[in-house]
Structure 1
Amino acid sequence: MVALSWPAVQFAGGGGATPSTAPPDDGKDARRIPPDRPFAAAMHIQAADTELLMRAAEPADDDFILGLVPRFTSFELPPGRKKLVVSEGIRRDLLKHLDGSQPGSFLFIAETDEGEPAGFLHLQIVNDFFSGKPNCHISDLAVANGWDGKGLGRAMLDFAERFAREHRCERLTLSVFVGNERARRFYEANGFSTEMLRMAKPL
């Protein structure tokens, strides 16, 4: 699978995205949208009846993001995969991207009007193995406790698709564990289909 982290676990339907009048990025944090990109540095998204701000993640968000790691393993893992090991691997990968040194890596926070974080989205621009054209890969998508079933997952997925189109990507891709049935149903309901299976044999 692309990257060492996985799309998260709790999702629901509904939602869309509309532009915001937020100020442009200052370019000082590699996690932010580059100033030469056409995509806005922040946008409003609609999760059912609630409007939230989707903005670039900042260092102050690190604890919130890392606190969502347990949600990435709250389902049955494949044989030979231990939750502690998988969680630590995801945490290490996130820390690598949170330091702002990874090119083509974009981290976003869904935030309420009160400034409370409600969700996290991590996108990566990668080249397609076969065509060589850019793809947008959803490395991580998670909602905070209390936001399950409120349409935030769908709203962030819509945001990811708009981001991918604005960056002229050929595909929007993601990886998900076989046992994460809820996430698989959610993605399939939103137009994703299985392209390739990664098979493993524990030794």
Structure 2
Amino acid sequence: MIRAATAEDDGFILGFVERFTDFELPPGRPRHVVTEGIRRDILDHLNRQPGNSFWFILENDEGACCGFMHLQLVDDFFSERRNCHIADLGVHPMHEGKGHAKTLLAHADEFAREHRCERLTLNVFPGNERARDLYEAEGWDYDLLRMCKPL
């Protein structure tokens, strides 16, 4: 079951922060800096609850929290049409390999269609091969590649 997150879920959501950098990061991106940046962004959105920000919790049949997802309604840079951006998505390690990430992605797709979005987008680090493999298997393709040159 997927439900809207509540303030009681904040601890569960924040428990994923370390996992979001548990792979090879790009050169010039120290793990502690990236981890704290992610934590700061999640806390900001959880505390402010902007109107374009939507948090969801995935529970199993026993009511245990298995994963979460943070969706944002944003305007496309090029078309200026509404997009739905998957800002964060995580599945608890004890619940991996059970199709939960696919369930969350399907929910994001449904949410985006209900909100008449032109596209569903997400960002993924190049070193996060497991996530990239999942997204590609689910029909995702590359739209823009952000390049960086550390100075």
TM-score by length of structure 2 reads 0.97
Q: Which 4+ residue blocks in structure 1 deviate beyond 3 angstroms?
A: none
Aligned length: 151
Report whether the alignment pairs 1:68 with 2:27: no
Residue 163 of structure 1, aligned match among 97, 108, 111: 111
Structure 2 Cα separation of the partners of residues 112 and 188 of structure 1:
25
Residue of structure 1 equivalent to 2:149:
201
Q: Percent identity?
A: 60
Residue of structure 2 equivalent to 1:118:
66
Q: CA RMSD in A?
A: 0.9
Q: Summarize the alignment of residues 7-156 of structure 1 with structure 2, pairs less than 5 Å apart.
A: 53-156=1-104
Residue 180 of structure 1, aligned match among 128, 132, 140: 128
In structure 1, list runs of 5 or more residues that go unmatched: 1-52
The letter of the residue matching 1:147 is H
Deviation at 1:82, TM superposition (A): 1.2
The letter of the residue matching 1:84 is H
The letter of the residue matching 2:40 is R
Structure 1 Cα separation of the partners of residues 49 and 17 of structure 2:
21
Choose between structure 1 and 2 for higher RCO, CA contacts under 8 A separated by at least 6 residues: 1
Structure 2 Cα separation of the partners of residues 158 and 180 of structure 1:
20
The letter of the residue matching 1:179 is G
Structure 2 Cα separation of the partners of residues 97 and 193 of structure 1:
27
* 8 Å Cα contact 1:96/1:102 also seen in 2: no
Structure 2 Cα separation of the partners of residues 101 and 110 of structure 1:
19
Deviation at 1:83, TM superposition (A): 1.1
In structure 2, list runs of 5 or more residues that go unmatched: none
Deviation at 1:71, TM superposition (A): 1.1
Higher Rg of the two aligned structures: 1
Structure 1 Cα separation of the partners of residues 136 and 46 of structure 2:
29
- State the Cα deviation string for residues 44-76 of structure 1 (Å, max 9, x = none): xxxxxxxxx101110000000000111101110
Deviation at 1:177, TM superposition (A): 0.5
